[in-house]
Amino acid sequence: MSAFLTIEGLNVSLSGVLPILRSVDLAVHAGEVRGLVGESGAGKSMIGKAILGTLPRALRIESGRILLDGEDLQRMRPRDRRRLIGAKAALIPQDPLTALNPARRIGPQITDRLVDILGWRRRAALSRALELLDEVRITDPERVMRAYPHELSGGMRQRILIASAFAAEPRLIVADEPTTALDVTVQKQILRLIRDMQARHGTALLFVTHDLGVVSKICQTLTVLYGGLVLEDTTIEEFFAAPGHPYSAALLGATPKYTDPHGSLTPVPQSVIDAANAQLDAFDRARRQ
Amino acid sequence: MPILKRLLLRLVTTFVTLFGVAVIVFVVIRVVPGNPIAMMLPPGAGEDDILRLKALYGLDKSIPEQFLIWLGGVLQGDFGTSITTRQPVLELVLSRLPATLELSVMALIIAVVAGGILALTGTRLRGGRVEAGIDVANGMALSVPDFLWGLVLILLFGVLWPVFQISGRVSPNIDLPFSTRFYLFESVLRLRFDIWADLVSHMFMPALALAIPLAAIIAQLLKQSLKETMHLDYVTLARTKGYGENHVIIREALPNAILPTLTLVGVQFTFLIGGTVIIERLFSYEGLGNMAINAVINRDLPLIQGIVILFALIFTMVNLLVDLTYAALNPRLRRG
């Protein structure tokens, strides 16, 4: 079965000087939930941005392909690419407090993609939005549709963003640390909501996070990133049973366990970091030759 | 605070402001050297002529007494009589107000349109040569004051390439069949586009001279806040929905970026109205500013007083209007 999203040999750099992503290969099949983990600066968010076409201006794609539903994004005209991404993919952003436009009402922010990009009738988009708000368990959806973002809580706003992401029935959703900015109590509900929605709609999910605890709850497969290089690509069962890379094993050792909250944590040992850095250097040398 | 209560409070503070302005101006123009009597005396007038004239205009009383008499008149709608023309001040001032209002509003419109277009273009093509060019032009426009722009424009479009009129408000040979003094406005309503064209040809250069510095300020500030807004998460989210750059700038970024600009435009617009005094003089435009200068030259105390009060009233009204617009545009201020 061919994957819905395929990334092949993706190299992204900062103005051609500093490598950000190093020949990344990644595939997400229809309905698959893939975790994308790594520490800060590993480039995990940049993969999501590359897919959705929102890389910062200073970053450029040096080489490699991104295939979304079989279409090579780099070869498309910008307008067609945007529309394809808008129709088939969606983003659940990290911070619900900044991801809704404070000057616009909630309703249009959910329905705009349906009407403007996908050509739905306004009434159909409206009832779809109400239905989705109901689905993410927002009480009184009519009132919420008329509200401005500042009138709603962070948890509410993240539910709205989730509803909005699912509105066009995308085949792939990129969730960029969707629970990081939330209260711990709300985190759990939101995580469960994303998992339920994903299961119900059969959407593929690329879940960007640094939290292995979250990964174990929601993901089926996992990609471990270090310095923009894919260190490991595996299933959840294999990863937690026997991580295939020393860095993965060290990450796992550095994750607090719910079963043993007072157990001591081992930071990633320097030797492992040195080894991973050596791997990056070796990769860069091989590329230059 | 409910909007009604806010309005009421503003009304009260407006009166306090106007009263303060009245007191200060009243005292200052009577304390500075030079007085109207000296201006109207024929050579060789005697001491009792001066005293008689002073008594005639009520200038023999003490300043507080004069002020109370003046204030009493104002409360009954009488702003006194002009010393030079012997006409009621209120009538004189109101006859010139429409010309100045039309000029300032036209300048404001030019500034907002030009500044807005520059800001949007600079944001759309940010990081390139066009943006750099806009920045340079802004710097130039800002570093030259409006009256110098007036002179530059007169040289360019009045002398070297005479396409616009450089003097007056309307050509003297044109009959004005109007019932108000808002000529520009009324010429449109009456569909007299021949007169309208003549008015615009007179008004364009002074309005442009007033507008250039303000346009530069608007362009600079709006572009800056647009660029900051373009990095925010909701703009990124809109991009992932499939929207292009133009849509994102206008619908997502602009409504938020416009708020800080609006406050500044309000303040700057009051400066612009102040600028009409010199610009009207430069272009011999028959507005309030021109009248104000004549009044000062002739030491026409009641007229100066009336004009300044009117300017103060316009300033406070502009500020009130800005506050209301701000509240209308910013949903976070609308309720509560």
**What is the DSSP code string of B108-175?**
HHHHHHHHHHHHHHHHHTTTSHHHHHHHHHHHHHHHS-HHHHHHHHIIIIIIIS--S--SSSS-TTS-
Cβ burial, residue B194 (10 Å; 0-12/13-18/19+): exposed
Distance from C-alpha of B176 to C-alpha of B182, rounded to nearest angstrom = 11
DSSP B177: -
Tokens describing residue B287: 């507005």
> Which residues from chain A sit within 8 angstroms of residue B238, using beta carbons?
101, 112
Report strand pairing: A229-235 vs A221-226: antiparallel
Distance from C-alpha of B181 to C-alpha of B94, rounded to nearest angstrom = 9
Report strand pairing: A221-226 vs A33-37: parallel
pLDDT tier for residue B1 given thresholds of 50, 70 and 90: low
- For residue range B143-152, list pLDDT tens digits in order: 999 999 999 9
| CA A183 to centroid of chain Cα atoms | 19
- For residue range B288-331, list pLDDT tens digits in order: 999 999 999 888 999 999 999 999 999 988 888 888 888 788 87
Q: Are A248 and A231 in contact (CB under 8 A)?
A: yes
Of B127, B240, B332, the CB nearest to A102: B332
Distance from C-alpha of B170 to C-alpha of B197, rounded to nearest angstrom = 10
* Residue B192 pLDDT greater than 80, yes or no: yes
Angstrom distances, CA of residue B152 to CA of A93, A152, A251, B105? 53, 54, 70, 22
Using CA of residue A203, residue A207, residue A213, residue A219, what is the dihedral sign? positive
Q: Are A44 and A175 in contact (CB under 8 A)?
A: no
Task: Return the pLDDT at B175.
Answer: 85
* Residue B81 pLDDT greater than 80, yes or no: yes
> Which residues from chain A sit within 8 angstroms of residue B252, using beta carbons?
101, 104
Taking the alpha carbons at both ends of chain B, their separation in whole angstroms is 6
Distance from C-alpha of B263 to C-alpha of B222, rounded to nearest angstrom = 11
**For chain B, what percent of residues have pLDDT higher than 70?**
98
* Residue B191 pLDDT greater than 50, yes or no: yes
Q: Are A255 and A35 in contact (CB under 8 A)?
A: no
Helices (H) and strands (E) in chain A, counts: 11, 10
Angstrom distances, CA of residue B257 to CA of A112, A134, B220, B223, B225? 21, 33, 12, 8, 5
Q: Given an 8 Å threshold on Cβ–Cβ distance, is A89 in contact with B240?
A: yes
Q: What is the mean pLDDT of chain A?
A: 89
Write down the residue that tokens 């991973």 correspond to.
Answer: A276
Element (H, E) at A5: strand A5-14
pLDDT tier for residue B336 given thresholds of 50, 70 and 90: very low
Q: Given an 8 Å threshold on Cβ–Cβ distance, is A91 in contact with B332?
A: no
Helix/strand/coil percent split, chain B, to 5: 75, 0, 25
Nearest CA in chain A to B253: A101
* Contacts for A170 with CB less than 8 Å, ≥ 6 apart: A87, A88, A89, A90, A203
Residue B177, phi then psi, degrees to nearest 5: -85, 40
How many C-beta atoms lie closer than 10 Å to residue B283's C-beta? 27
* Contacts for B20 with CB less than 8 Å, ≥ 6 apart: none
Cα dihedral B307→B309→B310→B316 (10° resolution)? 150
> Which residues from chain A sit within 8 angstroms of residue B332, using beta carbons?
102, 148, 150
Q: A215 vs chain B: nearest CA distance in angstroms?
A: 24
Q: Are A276 and A231 in contact (CB under 8 A)?
A: yes
Distance from C-alpha of B217 to C-alpha of B219, rounded to nearest angstrom = 5
Each domain of chain B, given as residue ranges in start order, spans 3-75, 91-297
Task: Return the pLDDT at B2.
Answer: 66
**Across residues A131-158, what is the average pLDDT?**
93
Residue B27, phi then psi, degrees to nearest 5: -70, -50
Q: Given an 8 Å threshold on Cβ–Cβ distance, is A113 in contact with B242?
A: yes
Q: Given an 8 Å threshold on Cβ–Cβ distance, is A91 in contact with B240?
A: yes
Q: Given an 8 Å threshold on Cβ–Cβ distance, is A148 in contact with B233?
A: no
Three-state DSSP class for A172?
A: strand
Lowest mean pLDDT among A114-123, B197-206, B313-322: B313-322
Distance from C-alpha of A215 to C-alpha of B95, rounded to nearest angstrom = 76
Q: B231 vs chain A: nearest CA distance in angstroms?
A: 9
**Across residues B205-231, what is the average pLDDT?**
95
Q: Position B95: which residue type?
A: S
How many C-beta atoms lie closer than 10 Å to residue B184's C-beta? 21
Distance from C-alpha of B25 to C-alpha of A230, rounded to nearest angstrom = 76
CB pairs under 8 A between A and B: 71
Nearest CA in chain B to A168: B241
Q: Are B329 and B259 in contact (CB under 8 A)?
A: yes
* Contacts for B12 with CB less than 8 Å, ≥ 6 apart: none
pLDDT tier for residue A275 given thresholds of 50, 70 and 90: confident
Collect all residues from B whose CB is shorter than 8 A from any CB in A: 127, 232-234, 236-244, 247, 252, 255-256, 329-332
**Across residues A29-52, what is the average pLDDT?**
91
Element (H, E) at B248: none
Angstrom distances, CA of residue A223 to CA of A35, B7, B323? 6, 60, 53
**Across residues B145-174, what is the average pLDDT?**
91
Q: Are B84 and B302 in contact (CB under 8 A)?
A: no
Specify the CATH number of the domain B91-297: 1.10.3720.10
- For residue range A172-221, list pLDDT tens digits in order: 999 999 988 888 888 888 999 999 999 999 999 999 998 888 888 899 99
> Which residues from chain B sit within 8 angstroms of residue A55, using beta carbons?
none
**Across residues A113-132, what is the average pLDDT?**
94
The residue of A81, A82, A95, A157 whose CB has the most chain B CBs within 10 angstroms, and thus the best one to mutate to test that interface, is: A82
Burial readout A62-80 (b: 16 or more C-beta within 10 A, e: otherwise): bebebbbbeeebeebeeee
Q: Are B332 and A148 in contact (CB under 8 A)?
A: yes
**For chain A, what percent of residues have pLDDT higher than 70?**
97
Q: Position B269: which residue type?
A: F
- For residue range B173-189, list pLDDT tens digits in order: 888 888 889 999 999 99
